[in-house]
Amino acid sequence: MPSAPAWVRFLPQAVAPRFADAGDIILDRLPTLRPARRIDVPTWAEQSRRLATTGYQGLWRNDFAPYMTEPSRMVTSRKYGAVVFVGPARTAKSESLVLNVIGHRIDCAPSDMLVVCQTQDSAKQFSERKLAPMLRANRELAAKQMTGRGADNIHEKRFAGNMNLQIRWPVIGYFSQNEYPIVILTDRDRMPDDIDGEGDPFTLGRKRTQHAGSLGMLVEESSPGRPILSDDWKPETPHEAPPCGGSLGDYNLGTRGAFYWFCPSCGDPFRPEFDMLQWETKATPGESARTVEMVCPHGCCIPPDQKYACNQAGIWLHEMSDGKEVCEIDDPRIRETDIASYRCEGPVAAMQNWEQLVLRQLQAKATFDATGDDQALKATITLDQGKAYLPLVRNIGESVSEDTLRALAERYPLKIVPAEARFLTVQIDIQGNRFVVHVDAWGEGLERWLIDRFDIAQPPESAPGGQRDEKGNARRAIDPARYFEDWKELPEILHKAYPVADSAFSLMPVAMIIDSAGRPGVTPNAYRFLRKMQKEGLGQRVYLAKGSSRLDDRARYVEPEKILQQKGRRIADIKLVFVGTDKVKDEIILAVTRKEPGPGKYHLSEHLPAQVFAEMTAEVKTESGWERRKSGLPNEAFDLSVYGKALVIVLKGEKIDWANPPHWARPANENSFAVRQQGEAAKAELVHPAPVRGRRVRSQGIR
C-alpha cells in the first residue's frame, strides 16, 4: 500500500466530538423532577431570605410588617386564583408580594413567571435595583440561576428547574400567547387601564394563568391611583372601596379584607385609618404633627409608640356573603369569590410614622389652600395614606350651580373699590361682536372682588362704520377680528378710576389682560395692539393671554415660540401670558364657593348682571378637564376670572410681602395708581407717581 503524501501530516486532524455526560444531564435536570416544597411564602421568607441593607443584615422577619403575612400566604392558595393588595407606600408590599414570591418560586416551586412593571424603564429599575440585590444577598438563590447564553438578561432570567422569569411592562405582546403559572402586577395603578385596546391588566394577566388551573395565580399590589368616580358614593357593605378603576376596582371583586387593630384600652376591634388620627393645631405643621395620636371609636387615645404592638395583634377580616358581617379568611361564610383582596391605610405602614403622615398632609393642604394646586395633596392621600382621592374641585364643580352662586353673592355696590382692596386689574374677553370687560379689586392675601362688568359693543366713532345716527347707534357692531380700529377703546379703561369706599381716593387699574385667541384675525390684531401700547409707554400694563389645558404651569410669561415651538416664526418682541386653564379654573371654583372672607376668597356682588352667574357655572370638571355643560353655553365670566388670576401670578402678586408691598399694592393714600376723586377724569392726577428708575419716569408702569 503506497504511503500517504508528506503534506497530509500538516492537515488538521479530525477530533471526535465530546458527548454530553449522562450524569451531568441528570444532575442538571433533577430540580425539575423534585416535587415542590410544600411551604408558603411567608414561612419560606422567614427561614430562607436574607436581607442586606444599610439598616439591617439578617433573615426576613414577618413581624416587621405582620399585616403582609396573610396576603403573601394566600399566593400559594389552591382556593383563590388571585391576590389583590391595595395599600400605601412604605408597607413592604412589593417586598412581600413580589420579591418574596419570586424567591419562593426559585427555591421551592420553579415555574415560569411574568412580572409586569409600570413602564419599560421601571422594569429595568426593578431588575437592577431590587431583584439583583436580592439574588446577591441570597447565595442559594443566586446559585440556581443558569449561566448559559440568555440566562441573565435585564428583562429575562432563567433558573434551575426550567424556570423562566420575565420582567416586562404593559404592552399586549406580553399579555398574549405565552402561559405562566404565576403573573405579578406591581404598582398596578400606574399602568393604563386598557392595554393596547385589548383590556385591563388584571383580566389579561388572569387569562395567562388559566391553563394552570388551581395552581395558577395572579398577584396584584398597588397604592391607589385612580380618582373616585362618584362624588356622592356611600359604602353598602362593611369594607366596600369607593368606585374607582384600577386596583380598588379589582379589590371590590374579591373578599374585601380590611386590617383590624384591637384597642389597647377597651379591647374593641377597629380599622386604623388616617381619619382616626388627631392632632393639635400649633404654630407650624411640624409642631402640630408632633402631637398626633390615634383615637379609637370609643374615644381611647393610642400613642404612636403602641403602633408596633397593635400591628402584631392585628388581624385581617373579610366580608361575609351576606354583605353585613365580617370573618377571617378560612371561615366558610366568607364572600363567594376566587379573589383574595386586601386593603389598609397609612397608619399601619411599617416604614412610615404618624408624624410624617400628618406633616405631609398639613404641608400639602397649605399648598392647596394657597395656590389651588392639589398635586401634593393627591400624592399624600394616595401614596402616604393609601386612600382613593376625590378631587375637591371636581366635587365642588359638579355641585355648584347658578342658584348656588347667587345664594353666595354678597350685597356690595358695583363700581366701588372695597376699602380693603389694594389694586385693580382688568380682564377682557374678545367675542365676535363685542369686548367683554371685568374689573377686579384685589386685597391682602389676594382676596378678590368683581366690581364691574360691561360690554363694549359699538366701535369708536373714528373707526370705519363707527359714525352714529341720530339715536347714537353706529352703523355696525364692533368687530375686533376685522377692524383694528375697534381696539382704540381699550386703552381708556386703563385710565378709568374707581372710587375707594370710605376714602378720598380712587384707584386706576394696574394692568389689563386680553384674550389673544378667537376668530381668524383676532390674534394678529391683538399683537398689533400690544406693539402699539409698547410704543405709547403702556407696554408694562397690557398683557395678552393664551389658554392651554395642557400647560403644566398655571401661568407663564414668555415668547410664543417657547411654548408653541414655532421656531421658524419668531416674533421676539411679543410675550404672551400662557395660562394653564384647568389648574386655574380649579382655583376659581374654590375661591367663589368659599363662604368666609379672607385670603383667596372671590367675592361676587348680587348686583352683577344675571349672565355672570350663568357664565361662571357654564363648565364642569371631568376626568379629561373642564368642559362646558352644554355646547355653546357662554362662559366669558369664568374665562375672565381665570385670566385675572393668571395676570396677578405674572405680576408676582402671590409673592407680595404685605408688610412692605410694592408701590402699586399699597393703601390708596400711598398707592402709585391712586388719584383724588374727581369723577373719571383722573389720568393726570396721580397722587403718588411710580418710583423713578434711572433717568426714566414710569408714571404709568408697575415695575
CA dihedral sign of residues 491, 493, 499, 501: negative
Q: Which residue has the cell 374579591?
A: 254
Say if residue 699's pLDDT is above 60. no
CA dihedral sign of residues 584, 588, 594, 596: positive
Contact 448, 602 (CB under 8 A): yes
Give the integer Cα–Cα distance in Å for 358 and 353: 9
CA dihedral sign of residues 474, 476, 478, 484: negative
Q: What's the pLDDT tens digit per position in 269-297?
A: 999 999 999 999 999 999 999 999 999 99
Say if residue 230's pLDDT is above 90. no
pLDDT of residue 368: 78
Side chain identity at 512, as an amino acid letter?
A: M
Out of 53-57, 409-413, 604-608, 652-656, which region has the weakest mean confidence (pLDDT)?
53-57
Confidence of residue 680 (pLDDT cuts 50, 70, 90): very low
What three-state secondary structure class fits 82?
strand
pLDDT of residue 529: 94
What three-state secondary structure class fits 524?
helix
User: What single DSSP character describes residue 221?
Assistant: E
Provide the 10 A C-beta neighbour count for residue 289.
Answer: 23
What domains can you pick out in the chain, each with its CATH number? 31-223 (3.40.50.300), 356-399 (no CATH), 411-469+481-697 (3.30.420)
User: What single DSSP character describes residue 672?
Assistant: T
pLDDT of residue 577: 93
Sequence-ordered list of residues with C-beta below 8 angstroms from that of 42, at least 6 positions apart, any chain: 62, 68, 69, 72, 73, 96, 100
Say if residue 571's pLDDT is above 60. no
Confidence of residue 325 (pLDDT cuts 50, 70, 90): very high
Say if residue 96's pLDDT is above 90. yes
Percent of the chain with pLDDT over 70: 88
Q: What is the pTM of this model?
A: 0.64
What three-state secondary structure class fits 156?
strand
